[in-house]
Chains A and B, each alone.
Chain A
Amino acid sequence: AQTVTQSQPEMSVQEAETVTLSCTYDTSESDYYLFWYKQPPSRQMILVIRQEAYKQQNATENRFSVNFQKAAKSFSLKISDSQLGDAAMYFCASWGTYKYIFGTGTRLKVLA
């Protein structure tokens, strides 16, 4: 069975600062993918970043990067130069056995 755990219900960051959101997961799959999705107040799910488990190199997308620690089953998201538009719910998710398992989410507040 797959599980995804986000232990931070809420985080705050000052505008232009850096914040890291934590995620741990567990899976019996050998081939899987990990994701961070953003859900703003509109509730439209937006893909932030994806990581193939077989790749050792951490994924990056502009201001967003991950720290993927496969042995520790950890997958944290780092947001650099935080912007007001980054305020949203962030969900960590794993994909295996052809379905997503989502974590409980972290609400990110960005302070001006």
Chain B
Amino acid sequence: GAVVSQHPSWVICKSGTSVKIECRSLDFQATTMFWYRQFPKQSLMLMATSNEGSKATYEQGVEKDKFLINHASLTLSTLTVTSAHPEDSSFYICSAPRTSFPETQYFGPGTRLLVL
């Protein structure tokens, strides 16, 4: 069964609105979670590392004010795409490390965002 869930799985929004995507670890705690973006037929690009109780670490080129990350608890991280525009349309994936093997991650099923 899935050990990392994402909600929603699919979202359509109007340009200029904000969209929140949740990533939850099920039955285990994750002090760190990772957010990726995947364009069609492309690879996963790490956007940021979400840290419980502290600020997220963003990769170079990712706008912090555009992609707000909040690691509210040991089982929940959220990614908010603020003032979304059509170019933000993408597939967003989160992952959380296995407790004993942080280098091996559980991936969420992904969220498809379409901005009109």
State the A residues within 8 Å of B (CB): 33, 35, 37, 42-45, 47, 50, 91, 95, 98-105
A43-B110, A44-B107, A45-B107 are known contacts. Are A99 and B91 too (CB-CB below 8 A)? no
Q: A44-B109, A100-B34 are in contact. Are A91 and B43 (CB under 8 A)?
A: yes
Number of A-B contacts (CB under 8 A): 42
Residues of B within 8 A of A (CB): 34, 38, 42-46, 49, 91, 93, 95, 102-105, 107, 109-110
Which one of A35, A44, A104 has the greatest number of beta carbons of chain B within 10 Å? Answer: A44
Given contacts A91-B44, A104-B42, A105-B43, A99 and B49 within 8 Å (CB-CB) = yes
11 residue pairs A–B, Cβ–Cβ below 8 Å: A33-B103, A33-B104, A35-B104, A43-B93, A45-B44, A91-B44, A98-B102, A99-B49, A100-B105, A102-B43, A105-B42
Chain B residue at smallest Cβ distance from A43:
B110
* B43 & A103 in contact (Cβ 8 Å cutoff): yes
The 10 closest A-B pairs by CB, nearest first: A45-B107, A95-B103, A33-B103, A102-B43, A102-B44, A104-B43, A43-B110, A44-B109, A105-B43, A99-B46
Chain A contact residues: helix, strand, loop or mixed: strand
Residues of B close to A44: CB separation below 8 A:
107, 109-110
Q: Is the interface of B mostly helix, strand, loop or mixed?
A: strand
- Chain A residues with CB under 8 Å of B103's CB are 33, 50, 95
Chain B residues near A91: list those with CB within 8 A.
43-44
Closest beta carbon of chain A to B106's beta carbon, Å: 9
Residue of B at shortest CB range from A91? B43
Q: Which residues of B contact A37 (CB under 8 A)?
A: 107
Instruction: For the complex formed, measure the closest distance between the CB of B112 and the CB atoms of chain A, giving whole angstroms.
Output: 8
- CB nearest neighbor in B for A34: B103
Find chain B residues with CB under 8 A from A100 CB. 34, 44, 46, 95, 105
Set of chain B residues within 8 Å of A45, measured between Cβ atoms:
44, 93, 95, 107
